[in-house]
Chain A
Amino acid sequence: MRRSEKVLGTAVLLGLAVALGLAAQQMSTPAGEEPPIDVRLATMADRLELARTFATLAVFSPTVSDQHLHAQRVVNLLEGTGGEHFVGRFSPEGKVVGLLPEARAIAFFLSRVAPDQGGRGEAALGAKEIVRFLDLALEEALAGLRSRRPEGVALSMRRAFAFLSAALGRAEDAPALGGVRALRALVASLPPKL
């Protein structure tokens, strides 16, 4: 074996070792790096308000192209960057964390954290309902995007608005109904804080 081949082999082995080390470090990063759950729920509530605003604008838009513009914005907010129907140029805020992936992540997180203890089971149930409402809202927004008739788009976006409103809910609602605000109120009341 020549000297240059030995050097090359050593370099490859070193590279592999560094890559494995980085991967191991990545895997050992604790999940706790995420913001607290109440902050994530507050952000979700804000995003839901924004999605409702654009659903309303889609309903009242004077032309079909305007309706589709706002419906696409709702889809972007729901799916987030990397979503199947996400279109980047209709997302002025740049990279978007989708409402649906976020809701799924929260539901998964809540189902893992002692689901059998008091209100936590209810919280996990409410989070799953939020995911269902958001799924339905996405379905309707996509139906609005497919429709070519202004009345058809408006009807779909009204339904999307209704499902988004249900996903947002009110703080005083029962959390199991599936409202982000009610879930946030419940999570805040659970000792110790999630």
Chain B
Amino acid sequence: MIGVSAGVVFVTVLASAVFLHAYRRVLDEAFQEKSAAYVLAFADAAHAWLARGDVDAARSAARFLLLGSALYVQVAADGAVVVDERMPSADRLALPAPNLSGGNRSLARGRGDGVPDYLDIVVPERDGAGYVRLGLDLSPVALRARSATLTAVGVAVAFDVALLVALVVVARRRPLSRGASGAGTEELAEGQDLERDAPGGASPLTVDEERKEVRIRGRLISLTPKQYALLRLLSSSPGRVFSDKEILREVWPESGYADAKDVKQCVYLLRRRMGEEDPIGTKVVQNVPGFGYRLALPDDPELTEG
């Protein structure tokens, strides 16, 4: 169980790490792609304003961009920077002159004192004499990645917990499930804990429905029909507590006079009969005061001690 749990946790942690790595890359690429389009759109407008000689319009729009993700905006024409608007945090940021020789836009990550990580994008003018340059704050990407990390960790933990709970529930139900040793055979199964103590590795308790036989650690026990019906009922769901009423309904279905005393007596006789064959037999059927009776689970301490 511990091995399975460790494996599940390892697999989910690994899957989360792979997912987060891929997601961060997708976020980065999407941000870069959108940012490039954003700067291109602004560059088109800025060049149009400069062509009309309206530097104020370009400057006003540049200032407006600073209200959003932009840390700085530069517009250059004829080799001179005509608009240079910056956030106070980017005032002292040294921006090296961009290389416009290729005529292609350039994207680069940057970091400076007191400035958050940013994406530096330069879009040259078509004739190559000017350019538009924007520094975009990368904090939103980091924030989204962080929230995705928290979500992924939460989902992974929830998945692990759900899986482990399911494993525990299954493990608790399996020990006394129906056996596969033959049609109509019910056995006190999974019984490995009992079997370990049993001589010759025989099945600890088997209820053969076809032959109406009950064996404890391989030894045949002869039971009356009522004792057999009671044991069969209890072994249908080992560990579950059956009330007197349930037992009466199943074992004495036709009798309107049987009561709790009959159940008590039948249990007493069944225990005594099973105890005659094997000391463990007296402990297989357990009394749950105030509720009823149940068949002991294989890992019950009383059985393993016995």
Contact = CB atoms under 8 A, between A and B. Distances in A.
Nearest to B144: A63
Given A69-B67, A92-B64, A62 B34 contact: yes
Contacts, number: 47
B67 A61 contact: no
B35 interface: yes
Interface of chain A, main secondary structure: helix
A93 B41 contact: no
A38 interface: no
A94 B198 CA distance: 93
Interface residues of A, number: 17
A60 B69 contact: no
B31 interface: yes
Contacts of A189: none
B136 interface: yes
Nearest to A57: B41
A65 B38 contact: no
Interface string A37-71: 00000000000001001001101111101100110
Nearest to B63: A92
A104 B65 CA distance: 30
A90 B31 CA distance: 24
A174 to B, nearest CB: 27
A56 B34 CA distance: 12
B61 A60 contact: no
Interface in B58-109: 60-61, 63-64, 67-69
A139 to B, nearest CB: 23
Contact of A60 (B31, B37, B140): B37
Interface string B1-43: 0000000000000000000000000000001001101101110
Interface of A: 50, 53, 56-57, 59-63, 65-66, 69-70, 73, 90, 92-93
Interface of B: 31, 34-35, 37-38, 40-42, 45, 57, 60-61, 63-64, 67-69, 136, 140
